[in-house]
Amino acid sequence: MSDTVLFVDDEKNDLNLIDGLFSDIATKILTASSAEEALHLITKEEIAVLVSDNFLPEMKGVDFLSKVREISPDTLKILMTAHKDISTAVDAINNGNAFRFIIKPWDDNTIVQAVHEAINRYKLIQALKREDETALFSLAQTIESKDPYTRGHCERVANYTLMVADALNLSEDIKKDLKFGSWLHDCGKIGVPKYILNKKGPLDVYEFDIIKNHPRWGANVARQAQLPESIIKIILYHHERYDGNGYPSGIKGHDIPLEARIVALADVFDALITDRPYRKRYSEEKAINIIRLMRDNVFDPEIVDTFLNKCLKF
């Protein structure tokens, strides 16, 4: 899979700075000083990530991104913009035309991190399209590496999920979707800043709002990769609650797809018995008691009973 990054800016000094910044990184870097030159390169090369200034001589950056989307729809696009044009950049993200925006003058660490996250997302989309299990699992682990407290989380969630699926006698096709959905349930966190994922104290309202976006962001990735609808729904709905007080949609009961209800329980149980930035792990006994308290409000009672009585045998 390509990890080629194309930077577009009519300021030669900025392009020279980019060359220096990425010179020691194992990523192929291309540069263009105009939209026309960039579009020509995109027709010739597989571009994983495009980073463009919002003001180009021939057209606005957002218009340029639209043209890129027509030629290379999977390319991840990052818009560089001044403070006064943040609203334009946010609109580009909200309409799906940009992955991220960066304020100029940029912070070196910020732009390097954004480019690496975009490359990982591009690789994820390509792996999803091929249903390459090895690449999918590897990319899920890469996403986890943003948060050292969740290392191994996706594999453990898949294991718990498949235990429930076996106990419910679900079909092999459903179990395959459950495995992929478990691995990828948090793939939207690739768009969440690292400082939020690793924050040791409680999140403020703004930070929690960003976290609450990760199911939608992840579902958008899965749709872009044309994954089965059941996997998309796992990613989108794994933070919904049985009583309707979850996110992002606030649906409840059996309106939440079965696969998402199963993964939701597996996700929380594993979180309870592992260390997190904001607390130490609970014992398995304490975690089971917490899950029991969540029966019929957070989780489907039938799935809780199946998990505790048939899988953990409590």
pLDDT at 1 over 60: no
Any domain includes 202 = yes
Query: What CATH number has the domain bearing residue 31?
Result: 3.40.50.2300
pLDDT confidence bin for 193, thresholds 50/70/90: confident
> What percentage of the chain has pLDDT greater than the value 90?
46
Pair 117, 237 in one domain: no
What pLDDT is stored for residue 61 in this prediction?
80
Residue 126 falls inside a structural domain: no
pLDDT, position 255? 97
For residues 146 and 259, membership in a common domain is answered with yes
> Which positions ≥6 away from 313 have C-beta within 8 Å?
none
Using an 8 Å Cβ cutoff, are 183 and 137 in contact?
yes
Nearest to 302 by CA among 250, 234, 256, 248: 256
CATH of the domain at 170: 1.10.3210.10
Q: What is the pLDDT of residues 82-131, one digit of tens each?
A: 766 677 767 777 666 788 888 888 888 889 888 988 888 888 778 777 76
Same domain, 191 and 296: yes
Last residue of a domain, one of 76, 99, 121: 121
Q: Is residue 127 part of a domain?
A: no
Residue 66: band (very low, low, confident or very high) from pLDDT cuts 50, 70, 90:
confident
Instruction: Please indicate, yes or no, if residue 115 is contained in any of the structural domains.
Output: yes
Least confident of 25-39, 138-152, 181-195, 206-220: 138-152
Mean pLDDT of 283-303: 96
Domain range enclosing 299: 134-311
Please identify, among 81, 99, 121, the residue that sits at the C-terminal boundary of a domain. Answer: 121
Report how far residue 197's alpha carbon sits from residue 211's, in angstroms, rounded to the nearest whole number. Answer: 8
Q: Which of 36-45, 54-63, 206-215, 271-280 has the highest mean pLDDT?
A: 36-45
Query: Does the pLDDT of residue 313 top 80, yes or no?
Result: no
Do residues 240 and 286 both lie within one domain?
yes
Mean pLDDT to the nearest integer, 267-293: 90
> Does pLDDT of 208 surpass 60?
yes
Q: What is the average pLDDT value for the chain, to the nearest integer?
A: 87
Dihedral angle at the C-alpha atoms of 181, 187, 188, 190, nearest 10 degrees? Answer: 180
Residues 150 and 114 in one domain: no
pLDDT at 99: 85
In a domain, 258, yes or no: yes
Burial of 239: CB neighbours in 10 Å, binned 0-12, 13-18, 19+: buried
Q: Flag whether 20 is in a domain.
A: yes
Bridge-based pairing of strands 49-53 and 76-81 is: parallel
Based on the fold, state whether residues 170 and 286 are members of the same structural domain.
yes
Residue 243: predicted pLDDT: 97
Which of 65, 91, 121 is at the close of a domain? Answer: 121
pLDDT at 166 over 80: yes
| 93 and 26 part of one domain | yes
- Whether residues 214 and 174 share a domain: the answer is yes
Same domain, 28 and 87: yes
Please tell me the predicted confidence (pLDDT) of residue 294. Answer: 97
What's the pTM value of the predicted model, to 2 decimals? 0.65
Residues 81 and 140 in one domain: no
Is 244 domain-assigned? yes
Are 45 and 98 contained in the same domain? yes
- Does any domain span residue 129? no
Q: Do 228 and 187 sit in the same domain of this protein?
A: yes
- The pLDDT-based confidence of 63 (bands split at 50, 70, 90) is confident
Other CB atoms within a 10 A radius of the CB of residue 87 amount to 9
pLDDT band at 137 (very low <50, low <70, confident <90, very high): confident
Domain count, the chain: 2
